[in-house]
Amino acid sequence: MLRNRIICAAIAVAAFVWLGTTNPAAAQEGNTQATALYKLQAAFHRFGSVHDPVNGDSPDVVTARIRGMLSLWTSDGIVYLNVGGAKDGYYIGNGDPDDPSTCPTVSTDPNNRGTLCTFFKYVAGSFQAANKLVSLAPAYKTAFDINGRTATFYFECHYFNVAIDPGTGKPLWTAASHFTFDGSARKVEGHWLFSLGVAGIAPVPVP
């Protein structure tokens, strides 16, 4: 009987080794953290997409979306825009879209263009009232590398104009812009938040 138990225990250990882990609890914790980061990314795209593709979002809804986006970032978050445009540069610190002192218009200094609030309120096309854009991200181009309470990430944002075509009554679904977004996230008081994001021009998302 003892011999049989030893054999069964050995088989179980071998199975865990063969599956690539000897610590199921650690594997589960890794899955939990990865899930939280994917939810963070999903929220990024949700807040970055128009909510009313027919009429466009009202100013109040746009402001609410900006607040939602800012809630995904640390207080010292940084966005570095590098797309070859006139507003390229660093956007540093969080902010309040109703407070000009923390959400100023874009400055002429590329080393400090303003805050994250500046970026999302005055630069990011998806938050401009005239635009009716949705952000889509190919799952196979998304990656997270978790190291304790910090993580690096990469994903892409492919924006499409979903304004209604008056001729067909259906969304236009015309391509508008394509960006890469990579950087780092940090766990703050039990919640994952973006801390650094570098925005560049996305290539064709070939698998």
Does 63 fall in a domain?
Answer: yes
Q: Please, are residues 179 and 83 in contact by the beta-carbon 8 Å criterion?
A: yes
pLDDT in tens, 75-118: 999 999 999 999 999 999 999 999 999 999 999 999 999 999 99
Does residue 59 lie in a domain region? yes
Yes or no: say if 149 and 161 are a contact pair by the CB < 8 Å rule. no
Number of domains in the chain: 1
In a domain, residue 207? The reply is: no
Q: Domain limits at 71?
A: 28-201
Looking at this protein, which amino acid is placed at residue 127? Answer: F
Residue 161 lies in a domain: yes
Can you tell me the distance from the alpha carbon of 66 to that of 74, in angstroms, rounded to the nearest whole number?
14
- Residues of the chain short of pLDDT 70, as ranges, are 1-23, 26-27
Considering the domain boundaries, does residue 17 fall inside one? no
Give the per-residue pLDDT at 28.
Answer: 74
Residues 170-184 have pLDDT tens digits of 999 999 999 999 999
Q: Is residue 206 part of a domain?
A: no
Asked whether residue 120 is domain-assigned, the answer is yes
CATH code at 189?
A: 3.10.450.50
pLDDT the model gives residue 5: 40
Name the pTM for this structure: 0.85
Q: Could you tell me if residue 11 is inside a domain?
A: no
CA separation for the pair 6, 107 (Å, rounded): 71
